[in-house]
Amino acid sequence: MFAKLPDKIVTPNKDGSARVLAIANQKGGVGKTTTAVNLATAMAACDKRVLIIDIDAQGNASTGLGLEAPNRKITSYDLLIGRNNASEAVVKTSIPNLSLIPSSVDLSGAEIELIDADRREYRLKDTIKTILHDFDYILIDCPPALGLLTLNAFCASDAVLVPLQCEFYALEGLSHLIRTIERVKRAFNPRLEIQGVVLTMYDKRNNLSDMVAADVRDYFGDKVYETVIPRNVRVSEAPSHGKPVLLYDVNCRGSQAYIHLASEILKRERRLSA
Ligand SMILES: Nc1ncnc2c1ncn2[C@@H]1O[C@H](COP(=O)(O)OP(=O)(O)OP(=O)(O)O)[C@@H](O)[C@H]1O
Ligand SMILES: [Mg+2]
């Protein structure tokens, strides 16, 4: 498919269970889904067993991996309401080592349906327990909101990966996201960390991109990945072909950036587990 990443890296969690990363930012259209799909693909190409869980009613990660709505049988919604087991919902994608739990439009009502449910913050965590040993990495593609669905992702995760678009309003809402992560850590999930912040849609012709990148690095220090994802038309074309950009055009700048990002994240993961 494309060149494998050089590093041979051990699974980070010492008990052999998957590391679970929530890809979250309540701001819409910042590159959460694009990052989930392409990071997962790059990790899978690196011999990692990877699962994407799509918990966004928009279902963009599912579509972007070639699974259109009519073909989604058992979804993350079914897991959250307790209708099915996680292993029943896992489907293989056309990419070796990469599986998917698709989403359903029913998720748009799930937050209200789950208001009175037992352990409503832990529904996702509880359901994926049985499949944690089947994967090395589980990436959760979150919706653009900090409601119960994203809270479920935070409770089920080891760390949060925050995509941040290089634009004027990038930092707006970020302190709210950070406060939310800290609150979840205190109240529900003490192991939750910020894995890192990835700058997306960087445009080198635009001075503003540089200013935003500098501001974000000031604020987050080395939590910000060195790899920056450029704005690249091939990245935006790929989903309409039901493919990650890494399969659509492996040589484009967007693909190469996601390969670098995967390498950087896996190295950071290895340091965390050392
Ligand atoms: N590096 C990039 N270059 C060009 N276009 C991009 C890039 N990354 C993402 N896009 C495009 O920007 C749009 C938003 O990206 P994406 O769907 O990944 O964001 P999101 O945060 O998941 O959105 P939402 O909040 O709606 O779930 C999409 O049309 C996507 O194809
Ligand atoms: Mg999305």
Backbone angles phi, psi at 11, to 5 degrees: -65, 130
Rounded Cα–Cα distance for residues 197 and 66 (Å): 27
Q: Is the CB of 227 under 6 A from ligand 1?
A: no
In-domain check, residue 3 = no
Tell me, rounded to whole angstroms, the distance of Cα 52 from its chain centroid.
7
Whether 77 is in a domain gets the answer yes
Task: Specify if 269 maps to a domain.
Answer: yes
Rounded to the nearest angstrom, the distance between the alpha carbon of 62 and the centre of ligand 1 is: 14
* Residue located nearest, by CA, to atom 6 of ligand 1: 236
Task: Retrieve residue 47's tokens.
Answer: 């011999």
- Burial (CB < 10 A; 0-12, 13-18, 19+), residue 265, is buried
Read off the pTM. 0.95
Pick the residue whose CA is nearest to atom 11 on ligand 1: 236
Structural domain contains residue 14: no
Measured in degrees and rounded to the nearest 5, phi and psi for residue 118 equal -60, 140
Domain tally, the chain: 1
Q: Given this model, what pLDDT does residue 13 score? A: 74
Residue type, 160: V
| 245-249 long-range contacts, CB within 8 A, separation 24+ | 245/34, 245/38, 246/1, 246/2, 246/38, 246/41, 246/42, 246/45, 247/1, 247/41, 247/95
- In whole angstroms, what is the distance from residue 221 CA to residue 73 CA? 43
Our CA angle for 80, 84, 89, nearest 5°, is: 90
Residue of 147, 153, 155, 140 whose CA lies nearest to 26? 147
Domain contains 13? no
Task: Classify residue 40: in a domain, yes or no.
Answer: yes
**CA 104–ligand 1 middle distance (angstroms):** 19
Whether the Cβ atoms of residue 163 and residue 25 lie closer than 8 Å to each other: yes
Residue 159: both structure tokens together: 């760390």
Torsion angle of C-alpha atoms 7, 160, 211, 263, degrees rounded to 10: 10
From the CB of 261, is ligand 1 less than 6 Å away?
A: no
Over the chain (274 residues), the average pLDDT of each successive run of 10 is: 40 81 97 98 96 98 96 97 97 97 97 95 98 98 97 98 90 88 97 96 90 90 95 96 96 98 91 65
- Whether 144 lines ligand 1, by a CB cut-off of 6 Å, is yes
- Residue 33 falls within a domain, yes or no? yes
CA of 14 to the centre of ligand 2 (A): 31
98-101 and 137-141 beta bridge pairing: unpaired
In a domain? residue 34: yes
Which residue has its alpha carbon closest to ligand 1 atom 16?
A: 31
**Best of 32, 34, 225 for a ligand 1 pocket test (most atoms within 8 Å of beta carbon):** 34
Q: Output the pLDDT for position 4.
A: 41
Domain that holds residue 213: 19-273
Question: What CATH number does the domain containing 102 carry?
Answer: 3.40.50.300
Strands (E), 98-245: 98-101, 137-141, 159-165, 193-200
